[in-house]
Structure 1
Amino acid sequence: MREKRFKLFADYFQFYLQDEGSKGIKGESWTPEAHQRRLALERCAFAVMTARNMDVPVIVRLYQDQPEIDLAAWDHIVEFSIDVPSGRLVVAGCTDSFPQAERIELEKGSYRVRVCQAGLDEISDDGLDGKDHYLVQTWRGTFMQVNIIKQYSEE
């Protein structure tokens, strides 16, 4: 397993991972379904909805095989697939400079992705501080439909 840690500015309550050649996430990708799953998705890119529009901690882990998951440790978990034809995955906040954003090198191809979110209820009243954190797990795999494993409810 390889791991990279980030502190991303989640302006507009989101951050991105995308293939270097992707045009990214379109505004119309944020459908009501995408809001429910806290994820906007294109073939080669995805955006994760965050609990704050401040700097948030994000860990990206690359695995050889599908990792186990502790359901009790997370508020929201969603799995899906993306293609990475360039072999370079860009990790960025919504308004970060794309040319200066960090890249993760990986083999070209299709990947399964699991996004886990925790601490979503632990945000200060002013929305500036919080204990929210995000884990992105990836491994080689064939295409799969979006699957919400654990649904977060703001109620």
Structure 2
Amino acid sequence: MTTETTIELAIFADYFQFYIQDETANDDFGSLWTDEAVERLFATSAQSIGVGTVRNMTVPVVVSLHSQEPATDFGEWDMVNEGSFTVRSGCVAIAGCTDYLPDAPRLSVPPGSYRVRVSYAGLDTLSEDGLEGDDFYRVQLWPAPTAPLAVVKARSSAAV
């Protein structure tokens, strides 16, 4: 497995979310956040992945592009979700929902179908006011056929 590109970001997760999307996607993000999607902190559409966060603040995110499925290391994470999306433009934007999309960080990728694995850590480390915490979000992308959404590791009910 080779990591082709890694980007470390601090994303303003306004409304407790950020997006990984084809830069030309025009999704209605509001309709993606069903009750089930909010609970699993993960929403999908054809050209976008919505990542839920436990803070409505700037959160640390690492995004990495891989040539094949990365090794599994689920033990150290609070929760892991996977989904698929299609990149038609050859460019993936990573942005908070209120960010100005033209200024969002981008990854250049060959057009096609991608699998996205989001691993969540520190979900139960929030301060009482919910403003501070050690939550962390890792996003891994690799070319793969479209497959159904999968909750690879569910969050323990004690942490909710």
Give the TM-score category using the shorter length: over 0.9
CA distance in 1 between partners of 2:28 and 2:125 (Å): 27
Supply the RMSD in Å over aligned alpha carbons: 1.1
2:73 to 60, 70, 73: 70
Instruction: State which of 15, 33, 39 in structure 1 corresponds to 2:18.
Output: 15
Please state how far the C-alpha of 1:36 moved relative to its aligned partner: 2.6
The equivalent of 1:94 in structure 2 is 97
Corresponding residue for 2:38? 35
Number of equivalent positions = 155
Residue 70 of structure 2 aligns with an amino acid whose one-letter code is P
Q: Structure 1: which 4+ aligned runs deviate by more than 3 Å? A: none
Report the alpha carbon displacement of residue 71 of structure 1 after superposing the two structures with TM. 1.5
In structure 2, C-alpha distance between the alignment counterparts of 1:108 and 1:25, rounded to whole Å: 22
Q: Aligned letter for 1:39?
A: F
Contact 1:20-1:86 within 8 A present in 2 as well:
yes
Aligned pairs (5 A) from 1:1-155? 1=3, 2-152=5-155, 153=157, 154-155=159-160
Matched AA of 1:139 = W
Whole-angstrom distance in 2 between the partners of 1:99 and 1:65: 28
Going from structure 1 to structure 2, the CA distance change for 1:24 and 1:102 (only over 3 Å counts) comes to farther
Please tell me whether the aligned partners of residues 25 and 46 of structure 1 are also in contact (alpha carbons under 8 angstroms).
Answer: no
Offset at residue 37 of structure 1 (A): 2.1
Q: Runs of 5+ in structure 1 lacking a partner?
A: none
Conservation of the 8 A alpha-carbon contact between 2:117 and 2:139: yes
Letter in 2 for 1:136: V
Question: Which amino acid in structure 2 is aligned with residue 117 of structure 1?
Answer: Y
* Gap runs ≥5 in structure 2: none
TM-score by length of 2: 0.93
Q: Provide the secondary structure at the position in 2 that maps to 1:59.
A: strand
On the 8 A contact 1:25/1:40 being kept in 2, the answer is: no
Deviates more, 1:35-44 or 1:4-13: 35-44
Residue 26 of structure 1: CA displacement? Answer: 2.5
Q: Distance in 2 between matches of 1:127 and 1:77?
A: 22
Q: Letter of the aligned partner of 1:57 in structure 2?
A: P
